[in-house]
Chains A and B, each alone.
Chain A
Amino acid sequence: MIQDYVMQTGVNILLAWSVYIILLSGSLSFANGGFMAIGAYVSAVLTVKFGVPLILAAVLAGGVAFLFGIGVAFPALRTRGLYLILVTVGIAASVRAMLESIDYVGGIQGFSGMSGASPWHVVALVVIVGAALWLLSRSRLQRILDAVREDELVAASMGINVLYLKLACFGAGAFIAAVAGSFYAHYILFVRPDEFGILASVYIVLYVVLGGMNNLWGALVGATIMTLAPELMRGLAQWRPTVFGLLIVVLLLVRPNGLLPFRIPTTGRAKRRAVKP
């Protein structure tokens, strides 16, 4: 039971970070449920049909999602704002439809036969990705990404290659979502395309929005609360989804910028380094 909670929370934290990484360059992605599906299915086929070890299969699946993410982002990033969001919704819907129509992976019936993932795989990945994001948050790259996220025009005029960074973030986000999807599939033992529909993507975005979009901790806290809160409300029986929905609305009203909205500056304080005029 505890293992299930750890697994589910860890996977959701990774998915939230996958959205956060794309958001670092200013794009809101509702496609990450689709990237997760690609990871789950590609790794499942590799382990079940070709006998590839799980970790290698997860990394390869991440690679496939990375290339897919960049491939779809390149044309998608010609759009902006609301239109880009709609394109990412379309990507998630397309991935699900595609999986449903491929008999090789079981079509609408789903795919089974995988095993071998433990919650510790996910915990290890959370630590690795979290550490990488923490290092990023103190780096020059974070400052550059913040510039892109805030104003692409100013960023370009500052010598920043905006398109390259946005593509890289899309690819990296797709990679993380896919590796999380791989472990998820090998823990849950059976996957179906409808698990990775639009709703899954909406939930992932919600983790980040509720937690706060300006630092890595927001996504972590948002995903943890959103995963565990429904479990704590089991006593409410059939009212659970309603109360959970209301909780989200109240949270957004009280904390519209998320639970942890702060941004950590990437330079030390000026007084120490600057010489008085």
Chain B
Amino acid sequence: MAWKSAMTESAFLDVQDLHVAYGPIKAVRGCSLTVAEGETVAIVGANGAGKSTLLRAVCNLIPRASGKVFFAGSPTAVIPTHVLARRDGMLFVPEDRAVLRTLTVLENLRLSHDARPLGRPFEKATEEVFGHFPRLQERADQPAGSLSGGEQQMLTLARALVSPPRILLLDEPSLGLSPRLVREVYAILRDFRKRGMTMLLVEQNVRAALRFAHRAYVLRQGTIVQQGTGEALLADSGLFRQYLGVH
């Protein structure tokens, strides 16, 4: 409940009545949500519920039909994605292992570092990253496309470590990974949480997300139908049957 009070006091990310449409199709209909500083919030829902669309609209990768988004108290309506990333520290990690495949592992990390160096030299930043991800150090000079699926996902997460964002927007971090790798990914995300990183993630893997997040919103056909702490939602078996198509 501590997180609930934090939420009302200071919303770090504040999404108000957001609508997104693809032509006549309304993908997101009037979603409002908040994320407090240091909080981890999940948006869960079945495939096609509008989760990824919502996340992309928050960082202005796709245009909003209406609604407002405030980040650290400022409206983000006219700020392009790259400025939100570079200046404001809003890092969006697209789904499906969004690495630059022809670039080497080191180049992927360097790009992330150079976008927001935070006064830390690259060598120092990679030292920390390779401490966490020794496998990435072994493959530092290989094209990222030659890594395994799990290693590529590690690289996308390592991007967040090389230049820590003020908020991390994660789109389906466990998509297409084996159960062992999903556990590994969430172990890393838990470590991010321990460091106080603010995170908003969307997930189809409902149980993993609810176990991880402080709070969560359930999205169905573009509308938020339920919200609560991860624990409370996890205990609600009706929720799984009714909205998520999971038994």
A residues with a Cβ closer than 8 A to B are 140, 143-144, 146-147, 150-151, 153-162, 214, 263, 265-267, 269-271, 273-277
Most buried by B among A140, A146, A263, A275: A275
Q: Which residues of A contact B101 (CB under 8 A)?
A: 150
Give the distance in Å from the alpha carbon of A269 to the alpha carbon of B141 in the complex. Answer: 6
A267 and B107 in contact, given A156-B85, A162-B82, A274-B130 (Cβ under 8 angstroms): yes
6 contacts between A and B (CB under 8 A): A143-B103, A156-B80, A159-B85, A265-B106, A273-B123, A275-B127
Of the residues A150, A271, A276, contact of B103 by C-beta under 8 Å? A150
Mark the stretch among B9-17, B86-94, B199-207, B239-247 that contacts chain A. B86-94
Extra inter-chain contacts (19) besides given A161-B82, A270-B141, A276-B137, CB under 8 Å: A147-B103, A150-B101, A150-B103, A155-B82, A155-B100, A156-B85, A157-B82, A157-B93, A158-B112, A159-B116, A265-B103, A265-B104, A266-B107, A267-B106, A267-B110, A270-B104, A270-B106, A274-B126, A274-B130
- The interface size of chain B toward A, counting residues with CB under 8 Å, comes to 38
B82 touching A159 by the CB < 8 A rule?
A: yes
Give the distance in Å from the alpha carbon of A151 to the alpha carbon of B115 in the complex. Answer: 16
Q: Which residue from chain B places its CB closest to the CB of A273 in the assembled complex?
A: B123
The answer to whether the Cβ of B81 comes within 8 Å of any Cβ in the partner chain is: yes
Q: Which residues of B contact A267 (CB under 8 A)?
A: 104, 106-107, 110
The answer to whether the Cβ of B59 comes within 8 Å of any Cβ in the partner chain is: yes
A146 and B131 in contact, given A158-B111, A159-B115, A273-B123 (Cβ under 8 angstroms): no
Q: Which residues of A contact B141 (CB under 8 A)?
A: 265, 269-271
Q: Report the minimal beta-carbon distance from A31 to chain B, rounded to whole angstroms.
A: 25
Q: Which residue from chain B places its CB closest to the CB of A263 in the assembled complex?
A: B102
A158 touching B104 by the CB < 8 A rule?
A: no
B123 touching A274 by the CB < 8 A rule?
A: yes
Q: Which residue from chain A places its CB closest to the CB of B139 in the assembled complex?
A: A270
B111 touching A153 by the CB < 8 A rule?
A: no
Q: Report the minimal beta-carbon distance from A224 to chain B, rounded to whole angstroms.
A: 25
> Which chain B residues (59-109) contact chain A, with CB distance < 8 Å?
59, 61, 80-83, 85-86, 91-94, 98-107
A270 and B86 in contact, given A150-B101, A275-B127 (Cβ under 8 angstroms): no
